[in-house]
Structure 1
Amino acid sequence: MNNKKTIKKIFAVFLLPALLLSGCGKQSSNKTLIPGSSILPAPTKAVTEMETKKANQIDLTGVLTYVNTDDLIMHFVDIDTGTEYEVAYTGGTDIQDKYGKIIAATGTQLGQIYDVTCNKSGKATEIHGSSDAWEKNSLTGVEFDESARRVKQAGSSYVYASYAAVLSNANKINIAQIVAQDEVTLRGVGDTVYSITVDKGHGYITFQGVDAFIGGYASIGTKQLFEVTSGMLTTTQEGTYTVELQKGSLTGTKTVTVARDASVTVDFSEFTTKATQRGAVNFSITPANAVMTIDGVETDYSQPVSLAYGKHRVVLSANGYEQYVETVAVSQAYQTVVIDMTASSATTTAASSTKTATTAANKATTAADLTSGYTVNITAPEGAALYVDSVYIGLVPCSFHKSYGSKTITLSKSGYKTVSYTVAIANAAGNLTYAFPDMEEGSDAQ
């Protein structure tokens, strides 16, 4: 990594909660720009510039962000101040992991937190993995609340420092560029996160030749299931997947490899409509009075149900039971599907049922949609194609209907690298306008 290359000014995106989609067009003059904050990093300082209380020794605890084994230089972001210091090391420097195992400089890990001791000339004498540091590995579905500076994942919540180092493929990135599909590691000391590294990032799949599948469903391995739309582009975790498109009896399957920060195109135009095959599905349901919908249509299942070959979304609802959702694959002339719904403990008595209904009513009042009638406007980068959760919206400048919830915003433009941001729109009234950073020139095609 060239540490001296020009760092472009990036405008951080305020994460405010989510969206109903509409057409795009020119911006009207009554929109309010929310500019975000400039995150141009401060220049790296020599470790000898660090304030220290010991005349013959310089100590710091910092996140490792850069290693140059040719020039014997490392960079550490001081967890106390957020200042990035350049530290020189030698072949005699004592380098250890946090468990006391001696390692080479090549064995250090970017994003790890180290206790560093230097002599007064700035040469490192010790670089030890900090025994006070903790880490949480292989986390997915991570959400970032920038207003409160909190990381949320699977019911857990952590505070992160405003200067936390965010790294992907040895490069510093904007925290908003981490999306739900990414797998990350959090590292911190005490109750504060100082380092976020992307272990598995994301790339992009562009779909072509899908006209015959529009309105059907697409699946990417076991990770994603979504409706097929015209011109769709998905943000997907790096890896190799079986991609399947299905509408009624028409099915198309491809194998695709997604690389980090790269785009791959999958063409389904070779698949054509064929005669519809149907199978009879005998549903055995407990309780017998459950209401069933198949693909959104209420269905009588007292007799075997005739369904086209392929996948169908089955939803069951019954008083006193938890809602049941399953994707049923029909692939033969006759089959039986047995489903036992789970009783809901919250509805075991009439009293608890009444309480549950009251609580639900109160929640419904609290969660009233305040976003209806408002729009989210994207003003930059101009000319980029805008996608929201894989659905094509139009060319920037562009707008869509506002609704709350976390969404993935993806920007694509010929001659530039595709990029995604996580955006959360709050359940609040008012229009929003965002100007995203300039896109990086170059091709991300595999």
Structure 2
Amino acid sequence: MRKWGIRKNCIAALFLLAGVLTGCGLGSKQEGSDAVFEGVVVDQPGQFDSADTAIVVGVDETAGTFTFEEPQVKKRFTLEYNGATCFYDKFGNGVTAGQIKEGDIVDITFYKPKKRLNTLQKSPGAWTLNGKTGSEIQEVQQIVSIGTEKYALAPDYVVFSNKEELELMDLNAMDTLAFQGIGQKVYSIVVEKGHGYLRLQNDEYFYGGWIEVGEKVIQQISENMLLVVPEGTSNVLLSNHGVRGEKSIQVKRNEEVVLDIGDLKADEPEYGTVIFTITPNEASLYIDGKKTDFSAPVRMEYGIHQMIVRSDGYDTVTQYLRVGKPSAGIHIDLTESGKEVDADTDTTVSGNNATPGSEVYHPDKTGKLTGSDTTTGTTSNTGNADTTSTEGYYVSLTGPSGVEVYVDGNYIGMAPINFKKEAGQHTVTLRKSGYTAKSYTIQVDNEQKNISYAFPDLIAEQ
């Protein structure tokens, strides 16, 4: 068998020794101790003629089988296991068959004539990163960014959620992921916590305002919107016209929650005063699209506001700030265009500072709001990216026909439908009454041409 990232020499001998030492007792049936029963030869630990490193792509405890994929060649094969099969963690400790999951990278020995699994160990040569959010996966470039580390996406990667095999576009920025790989390559991605959907009811008062869901979603409220939100319990904060409200939601994976916010109204809006200190002093400040004089404290309604700071010869800053206190201070130092910032300073690449105690939100690389930072001396900006204009070009969604289509949470109509092409990452959600909603993450290029997508039919609810 072929190698792919770790040495397999002496695997058979090591597994055989482990079997002798442990007796394969944990989680095993005990009938394997008898070599002969009424003239029939019974399988025993150590009986194998092949060894390999593979990815688990199927677990059937009822049938007593595992399905594996041999990386690089994408060859899949199924092996049976029984009381003579031994299972180990990566340290050689005995485990049960039920502790082996889809996406695990394992070292196996097996007996080809009977297609019987002899030993399975979670590969000592593989690494696992659990509980990761905000990871960036670039399918075209085959790059995975996890925190500050970059990995290559193996050509033969697999993606799983609740035992179901997925495509990369099925993943969402809301998901919490686990990665497994060898060396600098990612071979498997498993969704630990997925996403569901949030629809607002009786929300007319908040049109044009803002909604925050947990620490991952910040978006302007529009009519008939459907938001992709994290699985689990989240706090929902809403604000508009100086009025704020808070609710709590429980979201199940792939299911929709309807939240009635008709009771969140107030007679008198609340205001706070924000003092802006901006360098250079001749910079222009725009709040919610309006040029604002910052030579004196600025009175602002409670809630989220867009802030843009521009000055010739400097990078433009686009940030979002939440006003929720009677007074706050924001200090911003613009970065000269093209100037590199010392990585050892307390600022990010933008070099912009915010006074601790104020809350500032910033767009991700797609320009969308995806999270919040309670600032402690650092914030970020969008910079000045060189992009090709896609004005006049469209993205076409040809199917499935007759479903509601939402782009980045905003309702755009029924499929088939076209919408204006904007380069970057977008979430497309499809919904139809009586069917399970489905979202896809698409990467729209900046080429001057139309593009088209056709997605699978939605699945009827059970």
The 5-angstrom pairing of residues 126-141 of structure 1 reads: 126-141=119-134
- Any conservation in 1 of the 2:48–2:118 contact (CA below 8 Å)? no
How high is the TM-score relative to the length of structure 1?
0.75
Rate the CA distance shift 1:241–1:70 in 2: closer, same or farther, 3 A: same
How far is the alpha carbon of 1:283 from its aligned partner?
4.1
Matched, 1:337 2:308: no
| Greater shift in the superposed pair: 275-284 or 396-405 | 275-284
> What SS class does the counterpart of residue 205 from structure 2 fall into?
helix
Give yes or no for contact 1:320–1:347 (8 Å, CA) kept in 2: no
CA shift in 2, pair 1:344/1:395, >3 Å: same
Which residue pairs with 2:368 in the alignment?
Answer: none
> Quick one: structure 1 residues 110 and 217, their matched pair in 2 at CA, closer, same or farther if it must change by over 3 Å?
same
Structure 1 letter corresponding to 2:408: D
2:107 aligns with: 115
For 2:259, which of 266, 274, 298 is the aligned residue? 266
Q: Which residues of 2 match residues 236-385 of structure 1 at below 5 A?
A: 236-272=229-265, 274-283=267-276, 288-317=281-310, 323=317, 325-332=319-326, 335-339=327-331, 341=333, 367-369=387-389, 371-385=390-404
Deviation at 1:299, TM superposition (A): 1.3
Contact conserved, 2:306 with 2:318, CA < 8 A, in 1? no
Matched residue type, 1:128: Q
Matches within 5 A, 1:141-220: 141-154=134-147, 156-220=149-213
Work out the CA distance in 1 between the residues paired with 2:405 and 2:318. Answer: 34
Q: Which has the higher contact order (CA 8 A, sep 6+)?
A: 1
Distance change >3 Å, CA 396–CA 338, structure 1 → 2: closer
Residue by residue over 1:88-131, the C-alpha shift from the partner in whole angstroms, topping out at 9 and shown as x without a partner, is: 11223221111212111122232111111112422222111122
Q: C-alpha separation between the residues in 1 aligned to 2:448 and 2:318?
A: 34
Kindly state the Cα deviation for residue 285 of structure 1 after the two structures are TM-superposed. 5.1
CA distance, structure 1, for counterparts of residue 84 and residue 407 of structure 2: 53
**Aligned-residue offset at 1:245:** 1.6
Residue in structure 1 matching 2:447, options 419, 422, 428: 428
TM-superposed CA distance for 1:212, in Å, is 1.1
Other-structure match for 2:421: 402
What is the CA deviation profile of residues 391-417 of structure 1, one whole-angstrom value per residue up to 9, with x for unaligned ones?
Answer: 111000111011210111110111110
CA RMSD of aligned residues (A): 3.0
* Residues 134 and 188, structure 1, Cα contact 8 Å, conserved in 2: yes
Question: What is the TM-score normalised by the length of structure 2?
Answer: 0.73
Q: Which residue of the partner structure matches residue 20 of structure 2?
A: none
Which residue type is aligned with residue 181 of structure 1? M
- In structure 2, what is the Cα distance between the partners aligned to 1:275 and 1:364? 40
- SS in structure 1 at match of 2:114: coil
Answering whether residue 77 of structure 2 is matched by residue 85 of structure 1, we say yes
Identity of aligned residues (%): 31
Q: List runs of 5+ in structure 2 lacking aligned partners.
A: 1-46, 341-382
Structure 1 residues 57 and 256, CA gap change in structure 2 (3 angstroms):
same
Kindly indicate whether the alpha-carbon contact (under 8 Å) linking 1:293 and 1:316 is maintained by their aligned counterparts in 2.
yes
Report the number of matched residues.
Answer: 374
Equivalent residue runs for 1:223-242 within 5 Å = 223-242=216-235
